[in-house]
């Protein structure tokens, strides 16, 4: 028997029409892309990130030209990261965000990417003023200094979250990687510092080496389906311990992935690779398949099963920890044919 299915979910205080959100990619700043995503059924869009380096570079550039003149600028500019392929300067970013807000009716979530405290964080308020419904703080940091302790790194993250949160009134989500020694405790402290939600997980870019040029070759590989299991495990663990929004990202390719992540307690799922590989039409496919699955299994809404397989609620919670580790390894006989 067919019946209407309600796909609505709540994320960062917003009621979204479904749990499928577009992760931050450069194409999300293009108005045609935004309209295609909205027409395909996307619930919200994370705008491309404004980077700490962009803000600091522009401020340094202006100050240098004022103080020293243009003749010394070109050489000194080499000390900053190459910005040619970054989305825009900060002012252009804000104008693009305003245009996006006017172009579509779905919520636009702004994105800031940085790791240090400083004047660049004031752009959190400017992003809010440009019309963002919420802000995602993406903290991507590679701790290469052997003298910096884990405590120092975590303290820096917490201070940055508190600083950004103090400047805005819209909800704040914090996107982090999985590489923390006590991830559950650190997640708790992030919420205490002001995070209204967590996005799990950031994907660190792994470098390669070009053997011909003998240069480090940064690589961006699209995620694959198996990567979904890491956020699945941690959202299941955190769902009943934290009273904040939880977003899952990485490896989400179809409706089954969305349903699994909702079952362990995700409020939304964020897609990038699937859209890049298959186009905005993949959203329609996921939502239609999701509706069919819910009808076949007797669910009238996603809220009925959300969190039903969290750590507290699943029938074999130990499987989320270590108990099945030896069993799986010792029973593995190779890939099935």
* Tens-place pLDDT, residues 73-125: 333 333 334 444 444 689 999 999 999 999 999 999 999 998 888 878 899 99
H or E element at residue 137: strand 134-138
Planar angle of CA 160, 137, 33, nearest 5 degrees: 160
Using CA atoms, how far apart are residues 217 and 234, in angstroms rounded to an integer?
31
What the block records as the tokens of 54 is 């962009």
Enumerate domains of the chain plus CATH numbers: 9-49+87-331 (3.20.20.70)
Rg (C-alpha) for the chain, rounded Å, is 21
Helices (H), 148-239: 150-165, 183-193, 229-238
* Tens-place pLDDT, residues 16-45: 999 999 999 999 999 999 999 999 999 999
Planar angle of CA 24, 30, 33, nearest 5 degrees: 80
DSSP string spanning 41-58? T-SEEEPPPEEHHHHHHH
How confident is the prediction for the chain on average, in pLDDT? Answer: 87
Query: What's the confidence (pLDDT) of residue 1?
Result: 58
The rounded percent of the chain whose pLDDT value lies above 70 is 85
* Tens-place pLDDT, residues 230-286: 999 999 999 999 999 999 999 999 999 999 999 999 999 999 999 999 999 999 999
The residue among 232, 244, 254, 248 whose CA lies nearest residue 310 is: 232
Whether the predicted pLDDT of 61 surpasses 70: no
pLDDT bin (cut points 50, 70, 90) of residue 5 is: very high
Beta-bridge partner residues of 136:
111, 173
DSSP string spanning 67-117? HT-GGGHHHHGGGSPP-TTSS--HHHHHHHHHHHHHH-SS-EEEEEE--S-
């Amino acid at each position: 028997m067919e019946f209407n299915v309600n796909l609505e979910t709540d994320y960062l205080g917003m009621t979204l029409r479904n749990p499928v959100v577009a992760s931050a990619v450069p194409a999300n700043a293009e108005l045609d892309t935004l309209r295609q995503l909205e027409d395909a059924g996307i619930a919200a869009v994370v705008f491309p990130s404004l980077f700490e380096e962009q803000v600091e570079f522009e401020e340094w550039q202006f100050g240098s030209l004022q103080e020293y003149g243009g003749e010394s600028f070109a050489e000194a500019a080499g000390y900053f990261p190459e910005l040619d392929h970054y989305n825009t300067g900060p002012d252009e970013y804000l104008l693009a965000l305003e245009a996006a807000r006017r172009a579509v009716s779905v919520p636009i979530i702004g994105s800031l990417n940085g790791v240090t405290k400083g004047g660049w964080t004031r752009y959190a308020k400017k992003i809010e003023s440009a019309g963002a419904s919420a802000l995602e703080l993406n903290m991507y940091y590679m701790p290469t200094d052997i003298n910096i302790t884990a405590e120092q790194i975590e303290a820096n993250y917490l201070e940055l979250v508190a600083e950004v949160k103090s400047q805005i009134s819209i909800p704040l989500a914090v996107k982090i990687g999985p590489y923390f020694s006590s991830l559950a405790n650190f997640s708790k402290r992030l919420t205490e510092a002001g995070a209204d939600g967590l996005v799990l997980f950031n994907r660190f870019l792994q470098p390669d080496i070009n053997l011909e040029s003998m240069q480090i070759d940064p690589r961006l590989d699209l995620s694959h389906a198996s990567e979904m299991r890491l956020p699945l495990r941690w959202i299941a663990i955190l769902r009943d311990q934290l009273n904040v929004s939880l977003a899952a990202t990485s490896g989400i390719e179809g409706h089954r992935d969305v349903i699994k992540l909702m079952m362990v307690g995700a409020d939304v799922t964020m897609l990038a690779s699937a859209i890049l590989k298959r186009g905005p039409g993949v959203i329609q496919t996921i939502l239609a398949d999701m509706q069919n699955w819910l009808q076949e299994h007797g669910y009238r809404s996603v809220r009925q099963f959300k969190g039903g397989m969290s750590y507290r609620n699943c029938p074999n919670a130990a499987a989320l920890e270590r108990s099945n580790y030896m069993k799986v390894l010792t029973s593995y006989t190779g890939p099935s044919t």
